A and B are shown apart, each in its own frame.
Chain A
Amino acid sequence: MENIEVLKKVLIAIVHQVEVFMSDEMKIEIEFDGEYRSVDKVELKKYTTTIGIGGSLNLLFYATYNELLLDTMTRRLAYGEIKEDEFVELRDSAAGEIANMIMGQSLSHFPNQGRGVSITPPVTIEDAKSIVKTNGAGIISAVLSTPYGNIELNVIGSAKGEWNA
């Protein structure tokens, strides 16, 4: 399987789980244009969460979203009311937790049912500008739109071993 095909299969699984999570859990309308784009550079939005996909794969997943969308998701993920002084910290945490849940739910839909694949704890970065493709790596990207702004999902890296045979 070509590297970019492996990345695409991983991203297809993630996009599906994002659609399910947003509509079922967040009650946010979401639309996907069906395009999986191979790109050289990704422009990042205000908040970006990354998770490493390791084990039998060697990839990075990035989800990048604007402030309004992340604020809305944070309020919907939180149980009960959020006090204003706890909101910023909870938003950072929500970004990671949402990515973590989506990735966990996507694993069984990865090529080879995700056997031998592990994920790292999520890391959220604020105000990062862009990610640029380097030698040997691929970037595949999907954009989903909601009434609160877009969420862009990216899978980056090179598949290894059996995945890239």
Chain B
Amino acid sequence: MLNILVVDDSLIMRRNITKMIESLGHRVIGEAKDGLESITLYSKLKPDLVTMDITMPEMDGITAVKELKKIDKNAKIIMVTSHGQEEMVIHAIRNGASGYLLKPINVIKLRDSIRKVFPSIVDETTLQERETALLECDEINLPEIEDIS
């Protein structure tokens, strides 16, 4: 399970990302409304991962990435962005972002982005996939039951 900080100026996006993260079995330990707040919260909470919007008031996501990397050079940050902001994503990745996620977001896209940054992470869908695989395996290997009636 990962401890995640969600950074977005949009309430509905923070809510959606938080609910999706929780459905994957991870934990949201903080939410920030702009880049500046994310720096304060990062220092305090030391999350495993940050999801970072790009266009925000006070401090944009790219500046926040640079600042977070100064605090922790190993900080893992996924940029959350729209199509058309590819140049900014490249800029963010050059400054240390670990990956990106294109809006509109869904839980599968989010899960895949997290898995790219943490390839060995086990989330709820991993567990479900393993469970399904085990059930299929059991179905194949189940011995036939004799009719004793």
Contacts and interface: CB of A to CB of B under 8 A. Distances in A.
Interface of A: 25, 74, 77-80, 86, 89-90, 92-94, 96-97, 100-101, 103-108, 114, 119-121
Contacts of B83: 104-105, 108
Interface stretch (B7-15, B90-98, B111-119, B126-134): B7-15
Contacts of B84: 103-108, 114
10 nearest A-B residue pairs (beta carbon) = A104-B82, A107-B84, A93-B11, A79-B16, A93-B12, A105-B83, A97-B10, A104-B84, A108-B84, A94-B12
Contacts of A94: 12
B12 A104 contact: no
A121 B57 contact: yes
Q: How large is the interface on B (under 10, 10 to 19, 20 to 34, 35 or more residues)?
A: 20 to 34
A25 B19 CA distance: 19
Given A101-B103, A121-B9, A121-B56, A78 B15 contact: yes
Interface of B: 9-13, 15-16, 19-20, 55-57, 81-86, 103-104, 107
Contacts of A89: 11
Give the interface SS of chain A, mostly helix, strand, loop or mixed: helix
Contact of B16 (A78, A92, A100, A114): A78
A108 B102 CA distance: 15
Contacts, number: 60
19 contacts: A25-B104, A78-B12, A79-B15, A80-B19, A90-B11, A90-B15, A93-B10, A93-B11, A97-B13, A100-B55, A104-B55, A104-B85, A105-B82, A105-B84, A108-B83, A108-B84, A108-B86, A119-B55, A121-B55
B20 A96 contact: no
A97 B10 CA distance: 7
Contacts of B107: 79
A104 B86 CA distance: 10
A158 B107 CA distance: 41
